Structure 1
């Protein structure tokens, strides 16, 4: 479950200081460190067009299929955007890190130590059926996620909250358990999705079960049409309660958002060219470089543009299943990582548009660099002295992805990898395959459900075979991928995944990398269990300033990279998008989102011209 990024509010109405009575802050938002950017009387978000027209449709593609409208269950495959119906009490913005603001509340109250929070709810918030949202719905949502939410999420949540009290129909209080870092907890509780208690109970819904009955929330969009596994359409609710809320002005501009499902990347691209959907965020470098030569691009009817992306990299990588005995030895993981040739792949397959990922916090100020600083050493040394991290982490430079030559098989890296596997006891036999003392071959299966990745994985497999590894690529459909990579199966060797992170990290790190969730998490798919990492997560969570957080995050990044649980892939700092020329956006986009479904809008005249030309129906 995604968390929201928050922080201590010090500026409210007309720029005055937040009210503090008896040590309690009353504010319109909260920021982790420092001041909120927006005052209490802000008119709209600074990056939206407040006069953007409402109307029209935007459509995109999604991969595979779906058989559920429940985004919070591991059972079934949820439709894309199936959480769009939900809102939370607090909401972040796309141009500010570490801050959130009241959406479903008027104000929030919390003490200096943040050991509790009270949300004063708005009296005009309505669910999509017009019924009012109250504190009882908030309590019900919390209790439901605590009992039936994703296992890794509720495991962490259960350790954080002491009690929740409905103080009156529009006031609810969360009190936190002693022993926690309270820094992020008020904001975390404000980030819980709120659902209608009455609708949930009347429809006998179950958060743990796959269901085609959409849950009811307070959001701008509701489900309009469902063609199971093929398409899903969401409709803007004209009676949405928050149309005039300053957080929502200039947002939610499309009447219709539609997702069309394709089982094949090439088929999806052909669908775009045929006008079956109208907006494409291109992820294929070969398509971007060679595929957009059709007449509509040349005529300008389809726009092909690059827009700046200020986000850190998403941690895309080949991820090892550390639950497998053969991957317990880090030398084995390092050797396998040496055989992926990014430089050759980038030049030959990607047309040079990518940069290599090295850090879990790549493309941000939080990435570890070089040898540890004295401040990092102060954090790392006590953990090393407990025997929970290797001593080398105190002196070695941060682990970087290996650099390869311009040939697919880099002979230097092949020799290094061979030496590592020899040391680890995987010896080459007469048949060219490596075996351990038990006579078992070093077999490595890449599990993949995306045909577009075949051209990337196959050369990697060939390189590994040259090393004596019995490597293969196994193609599965998306349903098999879900079942084999989720708890309790975890039936895979290597998959493409993400090393997740946030700018201001907190308890979600326990979901991503914590030992306590390693065998239940949908995020810690590699099954990382390290008491040293657990201690570093606690240090990050306890940071009381941005400087402390930065140092702690760099120390954690350094330790995570030393675990070699991944073979990092690539990223780019541009959004590569193509769309039919009927959409517009603010001249300056915010740094942390593209926002095409959020604050872009529809130009009716341009759309009419496209339809008149016969290009669109």
Structure 2
């Protein structure tokens, strides 16, 4: 293979008929927005100054610098250490441009793809990044990495090292249309640095990367500093121009989210994304906010919001019946929660592809029916528009609870002495939580369940225990999310496919084992174009919704950010990502902020 490839290049002979053309970029659909001679992304400022320190907050703890394995709690920000083959543009739905690779070739029949690596690409020790490193990384992640890599790369038949700079991935027949772009997201590890070491073991040994930052000082579980590498080999590439501007990025770890907000307002760190509506509505007060030293802002975006929900573990006998899962949906009063807990900031999620054109609505179209009819799914999938229970938000959900009680009776449950029982066993389960601030959402739900005769206990655990229990599916119900990109693909296997239901560490928290859903997942992954992808996602959405695998929550259509007023940022922001790496510390603003904070503190 190697000699044949070199001979073709030397003689200028025609490549095999299935070969494609080398390109600077790869788009999921249509053509890349940026031409081969582009100089920077539009959402980056090529004149952004380098320098300064930014302090960020992380929750929990860390005991590992390997983010690619199941064991341990990996530190935040480790992606800064590792370059990938390509870099995704954040102002296009799904297009990637060369990073470690300067050229990408996708076979015309999509049976394989090749990456040609830049000769100047270097690891932090100065050694070159080679095709052998790419192959090593791929094989290691499959063999010893987090199980989701096996899901992502399931359609890769093999990887071939063609020469020092060229690596080829050969695909299985009818592979995912998204697979070439997923491979572009492969982080590349140094094979030499892992010789004689156990990749699967959690460790605080500093890994060898090739990215824009290196690890500086750290204190295990408490603080970690990333230092910008001034000699970074890729600093002048178009995908990096105007980005990675901070000299150092410090992560301080906090155990409690409430303490984290107070630390921010006290000036302990600089930038924060807010995910809690109550805190966003009421928490950003105090002298620094009132004086304008801290700025708060809603930044609109066009990202698909996927699904956040109370998640049933259908491996538990108590949740095996869809009628029971549907009944419990009637006990959650979103409208009351949005009004009284979330200050009206959210929209109800009624799709696993919320805020996107892939969300199902109304009755199935003829095209959807063509996909759905051959499958064994609930009759309502074909004949009825899906809708969630609704209330008027006043807290009185008597009618909904009546509907829930009727569904539970159909499922064989009855009330005896105020308790819901079946075959002499009470309806008792545990809600497992890791975030204390979610108790305010869970407790009203708990009270409604009590009115049905159901006992739901709430258990709060630390991050380590929570992750361990998730990996082994050791829970009854959790709060979780299923994020969706604008181009869903292989990750759907980890979410919904039977093959992942019993795979420790997968994201199939629901425990779904349904041949019809397996078929729809496979169709989504193999969608030949954008129109087919949208159609197939809608069909999958209907099957998931009518399975009542979750109790849907809510989503927002903007990022809520707060920051101390020391930053500059590009005039144009990306539609599909909050690229904080394109911001910078403005020296004038920082000096003014320091002066104003001093004056404020002296009052």
TM-score bucket of the superposed structures, by smaller chain: over 0.9
Matches within 5 A, 1:166-245: 166-178=161-173, 180-181=174-175, 183-201=177-195, 204-245=196-237
The DSSP-based 3-state class of the residue aligned with 1:88 is: coil
Q: Is 1:341 the equivalent of 2:336?
A: no
Q: Deviations over 1:148-191 (max 9, x none)?
A: 1112422553x42222221111111111223x325233322222
| Aligned partner (choices 507, 510, 513) of residue 526 of structure 1 | 510
* Aligned-partner SS, 1:421: helix
Is 2:11 the partner of 1:29? no
Q: Which residue of 2 aligns with 1:400?
A: 387
Q: Could you say which residue in structure 2 is the equivalent of 1:470?
A: 455
TM-score by length of 1: 0.92
Is residue 436 from structure 1 mapped to residue 422 from structure 2 by the alignment? yes
Look up the match of 1:14.
Answer: none
2:7 corresponds in structure 1 to none
Cα pair distance change 1:219/1:156, threshold 3 Å? closer
Gaps of 5+ in 1: 1-18
Partner of 2:71: 75
Return the match for 1:95 from 80, 91, 94: 91
Deviation at 1:601, TM superposition (A): 0.8
Is 2:293–2:565's contact at 8 Å kept on the other side of the alignment?
yes
Q: Offset of 1:613 from its aligned partner?
A: 4.1
* Contact 1:113–1:182 (CA under 8 A) maintained in structure 2: no
> For 2:597 and 2:33, how far apart are their aligned partners in 1?
47
SS of corresponding position for 2:272: strand
Q: Residue 609 of structure 1: CA displacement?
A: 2.4
Query: Which residue is 1:305 aligned to?
Result: 297
SS of 1:606's equivalent?
helix
Tell me the residue number matched to 2:6: none
Given that 2:324 and 2:408 are in contact with CA atoms closer than 8 Å, whether structure 1 keeps it comes out as yes
Deviation at 1:401, TM superposition (A): 2.6
**Which has the higher relative contact order, 1 or 2, with Cα contacts under 8 A spaced 6 or more apart?**
2
Give the aligned partner of residue 499 of structure 1: 482
Give the Cα separation in 2 of the matches to 1:101 and 1:507. Answer: 20
Report the secondary structure of 1:492's partner residue: coil
| Secondary structure of 2:238 counterpart | coil
- State the match for 1:378 in structure 2: 370
- Kindly indicate whether the alpha-carbon contact (under 8 Å) linking 1:114 and 1:185 is maintained by their aligned counterparts in 2: no
Native 8 Å contact 2:86 2:185 kept in 1:
yes
Which residue pairs with 1:12 in the alignment?
none
C-alpha displacement of 1:513: 1.1
Q: Which of these residues, 129, 134, 146, is aligned with residue 133 of structure 1? A: 129
Corresponding residue for 1:294?
286
Q: Does 1:324 align with 2:316?
A: yes
Q: Distance in 2 between matches of 1:138 and 1:441?
A: 54
Output the CA distance in 1 between the equivalents of 2:561 and 2:115. Answer: 39
> SS where residue 546 of structure 2 aligns?
helix
2:448 aligned with 1:454: no
What is the CA–CA distance in structure 1 between the aligned matches of 2:219 and 2:492, rounded to whole Å?
A: 36
Q: Answer whether contact 2:306 2:351 (CA < 8 A) is retained.
A: no
- CA distance in 1 between counterparts of 2:42 and 2:34 reads 9
- Comparing 29-38 with 363-372, which one deviates more in the overlay? 29-38
Q: Please say if residues 176 and 527 of structure 2, whose CA atoms lie closer than 8 Å, have aligned partners that are also in contact.
A: no
Change beyond 3 A, Cα 1:156–1:55: closer
CA–CA distance in structure 1, aligned partners of residues 276 and 105 of structure 2: 47
Q: Which residue of 2 aligns with 1:8?
A: none
State how far apart, in whole Å, the 2-side matches of 1:81 and 1:205 are. Answer: 23
Alignment partner for residue 426 of structure 1, among 404, 413, 424? 413
8 Å contact kept, 1:226–1:232: yes
| Partner-residue secondary structure (3-state), 1:214 | coil
Aligned alpha-carbon RMSD (Å) = 1.8
Paired residue secondary structure (1:382): coil
Q: Residues 428-463 of structure 1: CA distance to partner in whole angstroms, max 9, x if unpaired?
A: 111x110111x1111121111111111111111111
The answer as to 2:107 corresponding to 1:111 is: yes
Indicate conservation of the 8 Å contact 2:429/2:455, yes or no: yes
Report how far residue 20 of structure 1 moved.
Answer: 9.0
Runs of 4+ in 1 over 6 A off after TM superposition: none
Aligned length: 585
Distance 1:156 1:50, change over 3 A: closer
Sort the Cα spacing of 1:162 and 1:292 in 2 relative to 1 into closer, same or farther, 3 A.
Answer: closer
Which residue is 1:577 aligned to? 561
Q: CA deviation at 1:231?
A: 1.7
Secondary structure at the aligned position of 1:87 is classed as: coil
Distance 1:257 1:401, change over 3 A: farther
Normalised TM-score (structure 2): 0.94
SS at match of 2:309: strand
